[in-house]
Amino acid sequence: MTFKNKHSFISGFLGAALLIASSCALGGCTEIADEPQGIDDAGNGTPLTIRATASGFVSCVQGDTPATRTPTENGYTTEFNDGDAIGIFALKEYATPDVTPVDGVYNLKLVYTKAADGSGSWAPASGDTHVLYSYDDLVYVAYYPYREGITIKQDIETEIFKDLAANAKLQPAADQSTLAAYTGSDLMAAFARPATDPTDANKKVLTLAFEHLHALLVLKTNKLFNCTPPAGAGFEYSDPMLGADATAKDAVINGIKALPMGDGTFRAIVKTASADIVPTGNYKTTGDKTVLYTGASLAAATFTAGKYYTQQVNMLESPDESVIRPLQEGDFFCSNGKISPYEANSFSSPVIGVVFYVGRHPEDNGVYVDKNGNPMEVHGYVINRSEGTDQWHNGGGTDFGTYKSTTDFNGYFNTDKLQAISAGYNDMMTYVRKQTNSPQTTSGWFLPSIGQLIYIKKKYAEVISKSFDKCGGAMGRGWQHHYWSSTEATAANSYNINWDSGTYSQKNKSSGSMVRTALAF
């Protein structure tokens, strides 16, 4: 089998249709029987079409990303290749202790042939005349990869799978550093009964839903890189970032020589155990330096067949490489006016907020000056880590002349209007003025527009919340989960966003809500 590079997220099942040659091509029966046929009619049943799917490895850590066959973080799925083979058994409905095969189909080798159009078919090896038929009291059991001499017990499905997983000929290889050895270690099995084809009532199909009988350990190697902004970016980086160590090689995972994926990750199929296991091993990095690692214990009840676990190793030595890295939403803005990349392992300067938009928004009409009074360009916007609670305004119904749009990024412009007129009132502008920890080269803190808050909410679950998880300051945990914007609706009301639902509405200015400021840099 081969890995095929996909998009970063891929479907949970690989779905290539696998077809057995028809009985006409093999000299068998040419008509569909009108009456059900039992095994006593062996050799005269309805010829089968076979379809197969393979379930994906699923993370044994709650909240981790599910995967097809291998973790989705590397965007790979699995396809059968010419010459791949499965073994299949035709058995009489688990009639223990009767082990007589039906139609001589007992560990029959089926070989895959892939056509130029990407479709594929399965057939017995050259010279083999076996045909797979459908009978009412028949069950098929199949496994991958094919091995000679495999036997099974006619018992319940789980016992058959246990026997296969324990078979000495089907154990993971000690050296899986080649693709052939790795895929050859990934034991999968399926059982199925013939059924009527949902697309053609005159045909019978056998759908084999393969599942993994071993588990998967993934090693993810990282090291530090210095970050360099693109030319003319208008910002500086404060800290290095963790990134994949593409120089890593010769990885060993729990005694197995692992398959390198070419992106700093390695994989090894491992046998599940009755006792807890600890991911451990080593690899080599720049200058053939050996790195040893030991992970946390994995409970045997959790790390079961069909599950995967990723062990991450971070080398924190001074970086010897640099990467050009554009500004990204979710990056950290520090008190020194510099950016710490989202992938940073630690912060050399305190984080005061998170970047929520890169560049200047087209609907921003503000004329920006920094805290020193100098004109400034806008390279991005930051939402504060901290928040407070206050009234929007308590001086009566006054229209301050802010923009009324619900889509613009005019928080800076609106705040300028409010600061100029509302001095002396006990309102949220008092709170905004007390936010003094912004660098001199920035706009200073302002109250975001409703358009800015809507955008932050839109990106919150996907990006921004993950950054706040790292630096602290999650949104939506205040006393009422509503945030004021700087956008007026009328003289009496301003716009407010409900953080739980993401909806916005008008609210009387004398009401209290959460206040969280933003800045531009």
If DSSP states are collapsed to H, E and C, what string results for 28-83? Answer: CCCCCCCCCCCHHHCCCCEEEEEEEEEECCEECCCCCCCCECECHHHCEEEECCCC
Residue 266: what pLDDT?
Answer: 97
496 beta partners: 484, 505
* Residues 339 and 355: beta-carbon distance below 8 Å: yes
| Spatial CA neighbour of 163 closest among 138, 189, 137, 145 | 189
Q: Which residues pair with 184 in a beta bridge?
A: none
Amino acid of residue 149 = G
Q: Phi and psi at residue 457, in whole multiples of 5°?
A: -65, -40
2-213 homologous superfamily = Fimbrillin-like (2.60.40.2620)
The length of the chain, given as a count of residues: 521
How many CA atoms are closer than 13 Å to the CA of 186, on its beta-carbon side? 30
Residue 104 is predicted with a pLDDT of 87
Tally DSSP H helices, then E strands, for the chain. Answer: 7, 34
Three-state SS for 431?
Answer: helix
Low-confidence ranges of the chain (pLDDT < 70): 1-45, 61-79, 94-100, 154-155, 396, 422-426
Output the six-digit token pair for 212: 């993994």
Measured between alpha carbons, how far apart are the two ends of the chain, in Å? 51
